Structure 1
């Protein structure tokens, strides 16, 4: 790998960052930072508590980078660490709950009213498209025709013609491709290319 190639392999990023490579550390923070911030905000922490949890999560990552059992699952580990730190912050805030000032406790109850919702949706969508781009070209074609570009219900005749596949193969192929997509999303998007 040359210095100009992007560091796509999470295990390699972890190894390089644990060895002191600042570019690898920056890539990890860049890749997973939005997810950490979105998790902080999902717990409806105050701005100060969310910032503390964000910093504490990255401190935990830095402290444990060289001892991860499965470096390829760094994204999942970061998510779990952030959730644990958020729960600690919530318990700490509960102990220090102000009384006599109910306006301090007002929080939106409808998820549509959450000001962070567009950010969380955009982060989710970015992760989904990142995982989609990691699928094999064939899986991308199948899912694009059967899911993305299908209006209400996909026409299997149209899809079979567009993909040059027998109609009976469309469902099983789509199922395999969705399974690969789901794996990339649950593994923190750390896998290689999927087979169709």
Structure 2
């Protein structure tokens, strides 16, 4: 199934082949999850985005003009669903996972200060940079091709864009604007 092209999987799934559906789900679920998380969604909200994205594909599967580009179609749809979820919730969520990793009173205080500083700096950089950096620190980390699809940038631009975003973040943390 890994050697089979996305276009072939889509065509087979359109004919009701359950193995083709499993192949598509295996191939793209991690990407859809990354996209939902890149918008600050987690838990049930991220799951809802993924489920709705798959539902949209089911509804339009036989209407796709280029079945080989179904991965891109899924990524765009997941971004739109993530934004719709944020609008429905009426708020944006703070970044998660930047707390201290070591315990003890002084580590807790330092960790909170560091998390607050990084969180504040992240709020000042462009949203696209924030999303890119979040995808890099996700656990497990996402590949360049997954990040490329999630952010709609060429794979060759992921590294240089990451470097520029980190420079932006460092300048904010150092108080240089």
Q: Please indicate the TM-score interval, normalised by the length of the shorter structure.
A: 0.5 to 0.7
* Corresponding residue number in structure 1 for 2:151: none
Alignment of 1:59 with 2:50, yes or no, is no
Alignment of 1:12 with 2:8, yes or no, is yes
Query: CA RMSD, aligned part only?
Result: 3.0
* Corresponding residue number in structure 2 for 1:93: 89
* The one of 130, 137, 148 aligned to 1:118: 137
Write the distance in 2 (CA, Å) between the matches of 1:83 and 1:58.
13
What are the Cα deviations for residues 17-59 of structure 1, in whole angstroms up to 9, with x where unaligned? 0100000000000001100000000000142211111110111
* Corresponding residue number in structure 2 for 1:22: 18
Write the distance in 2 (CA, Å) between the matches of 1:115 and 1:77.
22
Say if 1:7 and 1:13, in contact at 8 Å, map to a contact too.
no
Structure 2 CA distance for partners of 1:106 and 1:39, relative to 1, 3 Å: closer
Write the distance in 1 (CA, Å) between the matches of 2:52 and 2:77.
9
Structure 2 CA distance for partners of 1:7 and 1:15, relative to 1, 3 Å: farther
Gap regions ≥5 residues in structure 2: 97-118, 123-129, 148-153, 157-177
What are the Cα deviations for residues 136-193 of structure 1, in whole angstroms up to 9, with x where unaligned? xxxxxxxxxxxxxxxxxxxxxxxxxxxxxxxxxxxxxxxxxxx9x75xxxxxxxxxxx
Which of structures 1 and 2 has the bigger CA Rg?
Answer: 1
1:69-84 map, 5 Å: 69-84=65-80
Structure 2 CA distance for partners of 1:120 and 1:63, relative to 1, 3 Å: farther
User: What is the aligned length?
Assistant: 117
Write the distance in 2 (CA, Å) between the matches of 1:126 and 1:42.
15
Gap regions ≥5 residues in structure 1: 98-103, 129-178, 183-196
Say if 1:57 and 1:82, in contact at 8 Å, map to a contact too.
yes
TM superposition score normalised by structure 1? 0.51
Q: Secondary structure at the match of 2:40?
A: coil
Q: Secondary structure at the match of 1:8?
A: coil
